[in-house]
Structure 1
């Protein structure tokens, strides 16, 4: 299989530690419901931290390694994964800190009125008056609901934090990368 572009992969977790003596890894998922991590048959691992200063994209691309998943299960808030070719604790510990990435096509289809946060990033946000609020540069969870982070995608400067709740979110048009919000530009 050819290596996909980094732009075609989505980071869904990071290797936290080794688990046991058989080469399993303990993964800290980036989602409270790690369905893509649990259902993936293959994972790409990168030992280079995301957007490291001074690391060329070509080096990061070259660092990608594909692993077949033999088993994945939830365990105490983490996901324990057995990878083909990783047979002992030392091999698993060598992967500590690795980023875990998958292709977007691995994600199950989202239900109606549900969205994967990664799909919201880079959407333009406008209010009901048609005023531009900015672009979604990140999505977070405050425990009660999602928060979309509106700002400048180049500088990552945050302009507004807006609750992603049905009272505020009027429409999400993913094909056109547009979110309409009941929100004022000066709030």
Structure 2
């Protein structure tokens, strides 16, 4: 079963057992909703249940059941929060994809069909997602994940088709 990281626990926040979370999800409000059960990469705490969540400025703050003081909260620092990929809802738009669906896809040139590499990661800078492509020569190419450059994603075929501007993949 494939597990996906949806967040990483940061420092304790306040004295009541809350922690900061670095979210790796596009919908932290739903992912960290009260009652959500999150698996972890910690043998000491394999499952954490969200008892409360809020924003404090730009920071996601979460409290977990059974974590009631700052000292206990601090022991959670660095734990990765995980969900089963199969538990994720289907995307509502046929042109939306989860990162894990894109990683591993072969990248082909729109005009020539040439294999340009393989998607190895998806980055999320402020403007638009970026596909990290491992090229056959071992170098990486960063490709903005916008329809003008990536017109076709075919999950069934395991391919991404790119129409790169001049200079990209040169």
Quickly name the TM-score band, shorter chain normalised: 0.7 to 0.9
SS state at 1:95 partner:
coil
Q: Report the equivalent of 2:63.
A: 82
Q: CA contact under 8 A between 1:36 and 1:108: conserved in structure 2? A: no
- The verdict on how the C-alpha distance between 1:169 and 1:63 changes in structure 2, with shifts beyond 3 A counting, is farther
Q: CA contact under 8 A between 2:6 and 2:82: conserved in structure 1? A: yes
C-alpha distance after superposition, 1:28-81 (max 9, x if no partner): 11245435533471112225xxxxxxxxxxxxxx56611122222333223222
Match among 13, 16, 26 for residue 22 of structure 1:
16
Q: Report the equivalent of 2:41.
A: 46
Alignment gaps of 5+ in structure 1: 48-61
Stretch moving more, 83-92 or 25-34? 25-34
RMSD: 2.5
Q: Report the equivalent of 1:51.
A: none
* Matched residues, number: 164
Q: CA contact under 8 A between 1:35 and 1:107: conserved in structure 2? A: no
C-alpha distance after superposition, 1:83-112 (max 9, x if no partner): 112121111001111111111234333231
Spell out the pairing of 1:2-17 with structure 2 (5 A cutoff).
8-17=2-11
- The verdict on how the C-alpha distance between 1:35 and 1:138 changes in structure 2, with shifts beyond 3 A counting, is farther
Q: Report the equivalent of 1:72.
A: 53
> How far apart in 2 are the matches of 1:72 and 1:103?
21
Q: What is the deviation of 1:121? A: 1.0
- The verdict on how the C-alpha distance between 1:108 and 1:76 changes in structure 2, with shifts beyond 3 A counting, is farther
* TM-score, length-scaled by structure 2: 0.82
Q: Report the equivalent of 1:132.
A: 115
* TM-score, length-scaled by structure 1: 0.76
Q: CA contact under 8 A between 1:29 and 1:78: conserved in structure 2? A: no
